[in-house]
Chains A and B, each alone.
Chain A
Amino acid sequence: MSVSRLSPSVSRPHEEQASPAVQSRIGIRDVTLSYGALQIIGGISLDIAPGETVSIIGPSGCGKTTLLRMLAGLARPTTGEIVLDGQPVSGPSRSVAIVFQDYGKALLPWRTAAGNVSLALEARGCPARERPEIIRDLLAKIGLSRHADKYPSEMSGGMQQRLQIARCLAQEPKVLLMDEPFGALDAMTRQALQDEVLALTAATGATMVFVTHDLEEAIYLGDRIVCLQPNPGRIGRIVDVRLPKPRDQLLTREDPEFLRLRRDLYDLIKDDHQ
């Protein structure tokens, strides 16, 4: 397998092949999760189409991150099941990549940027002589070409998070899970990364599930927004985002539809807090 799977020309036929029965890339079927007597997730069902970007928002403690961890195979549902391309998810796999919020802990501090990307290639048995070229391509794609030999401790937060995304792309995933990835970054870096991630998913046809606290970020990135409610975590509402693509930091955010969505979601979240 090579990086070519990330190009749109290759990924599109894949989508068309899917029969109507298994058209969803991710299927969440009546999923609950309890720790002892405490129910964290109380029955969630959701289908996510190939290439779709779903934003997940909700007050803290509503199980956003838990849901994402179950999608990644890092946590098992107590009842119900999660299906990827028709196959039940029983554990972590290379086809589902996850970008953690705490990039500082998720990167290997003793490896350079190139070395960190290389880890994903080593894991999938990519021959050593093919690695440098793939690493170069990926770092270029995410704007880190000039920093290939830097250690994470020498990089800014934004650069480290870019690096984590590059390593996830090296997995050649079908699904990209993002757990509040830009929560710790400043506003400008945040917006730049939002646009980069949108461009990447558009180019690769990857499906994305994006957990965030930030309503505007959820609207800006999402094709759909899933609002979770707490105690136990369940779906409160699903909102379709009908904003033109590609999105633009100024035009999209000034669009009346954007402002209307923001008002709606704000009211919704506020109600949950009361």
Chain B
Amino acid sequence: MNRLSFRKLALGVLTLVLFILGWKLVTDARLISPIFFPGPERTYAALVKGLSGGPLLAQTVETVERMLYGWLLASAVGVLLGALIGISRRARAFIAPTLELLRPLPASAMIPVAIAFLGFSDQMVLVVIAFGALWPMLLATIHGFAAMEPRLYEVSAVLGLSRFQVIWKLALPSAMPMILASLRLGLTISLVLAVVGEMLASRAGLGQSILAASRSFRSADLFAGIVILGAIGLCGSRLLSMAERRLLRWQAVHR
């Protein structure tokens, strides 16, 4: 098992190295002008410079904070609202059509609406992030609650569990795998919308910094920002995967 995961890791790293090597070959051959497309060395140099003393570190913190707040807000609202809707068949029948209408709306299309109400502010970006990241969590929670094993409802009736106990001890844990998967999806959406929000509303952060770098042809800075965004996404997803594995220990045998 350990040897296998080591091999997997080694292969993953090898692919990454090959990718960077290919990148270097393309830039060294000057297939694309270095004004638009920096090589890995220049990107790395810009990354080091930006993070040590440069503005990149502060901007990263800004973007991560924005992403996390929006995600937390969306998670809290999504899971709570999803539980309320999912637990009652009648509520599902009433609300589901409206949700289906709202869900496919691109969150970026909501930005002008949010700007109209909240102006070019941090709150506006926060609301846009929360709105966009809400859907996967809301729908996963509704489906998770609705998909609870019917036998368990009978067990709860015979044991005499209260309605609150059924929600807390049966429905929530049984919806947990779906909810956790949606939290991971929501985090990715939060990152995307944090960057878009920063670009459109010109709030401090990596989004704004990338846009500024691109407009002034500082391609190395642009790519440094992109690398950091990739790293944020990877770390967030990895952390949530770890939490998932811990919380869903009971599933381990099935996997």
Contact = CB atoms under 8 A, between A and B. Distances in A.
B158 A97 contact: yes
A105 interface: yes
A36 B170 CA distance: 32
Nearest to A98: B158
A110 B174 contact: yes
A153 B158 contact: no
Interface residues of B, number: 24
A119 B250 contact: no
- Sort chain A's interface into a size bin: 20 to 34
Interface in A72-93: 72-74, 91-93
A265 interface: no
Contacts of B252: 153
A105 B149 contact: yes
A124 B165 CA distance: 11
A171 interface: yes
B173 A94 contact: no
B250 A102 contact: no
B157 A153 contact: no
Given A120-B159, A122-B165, A123-B160, A108 B254 contact: no
B176 A110 contact: yes
A140 to B, nearest CB: 21
Nearest to A153: B253
Contacts of A97: 158
B155 interface: yes
Given A105-B152, A110-B173, A110-B174, A151 B253 contact: yes
Contacts of B154: 74, 92, 98, 100
B160 A106 contact: no
Interface string A218-249: 00000000000000000000000000000000
Given A119-B161, A123-B159, 7 more contacts: A106-B151, A110-B176, A122-B161, A123-B160, A123-B165, A124-B160, A167-B159
Interface of B: 149, 151-152, 154-161, 165, 169-170, 173-174, 176, 248-254
Interface of A: 72-74, 91-94, 96-98, 100, 102, 105-106, 108-111, 119-120, 122-124, 151, 153-154, 167, 171
